[in-house]
Amino acid sequence: MLQLVKILVRSVLAIAIVSGITFYILVNHSTDAMNLTCKGKWLQSGKGETLFAAFEFYRPWILWAEADGNVRVETAQLPISSYFSEVKIIGRKPLRLFEITDSYRAGMIGGYREASKEIAINFSKGLTFTGNCRDGI
């Protein structure tokens, strides 16, 4: 009887440890990040601008996500800060394309080409940023 209790306690302890490790991985390692600093201009006016972009990509085991990730962007000259809830990754490294859309606006808002490090984002009618990026903020 004592032997059975020991086996039961060890089994419960093993299940608890495996569950804890799984929970830790899901909570702390479910996304990957890519931060960019992009120098470019406003397409309409030609004025120079710096854009900071923080992409967040969901890991393959996040089955409930409708998109591959999201992106937050901020500009240095104009007071613009935006969150786009849907980033779709097309292709594989090194020629991945990132299609930026949002559930609140119809159509594509912008995109990022990884190989050439080019980004374009349409914030609103008449306000489109285009530029070249480098890693890091």
CB atoms within 10 A of CB 67: 18
Give the global pTM: 0.81
All structural domains of the chain with their residue ranges: 31-135
What is the mean pLDDT of the segment spanning 1-15?
Answer: 87
* pLDDT one-digit tens code per residue, 83-126: 999 999 999 988 999 999 987 777 789 999 999 999 999 998 88
pLDDT at position 48 is 97
- pLDDT band (50, 70, 90) for residue 27: low
Residue 18's H or E segment, with its range, is helix 2-28
Q: What is the pLDDT of residues 60-90, one digit of tens each?
A: 877 778 899 999 999 999 999 999 999 999 9
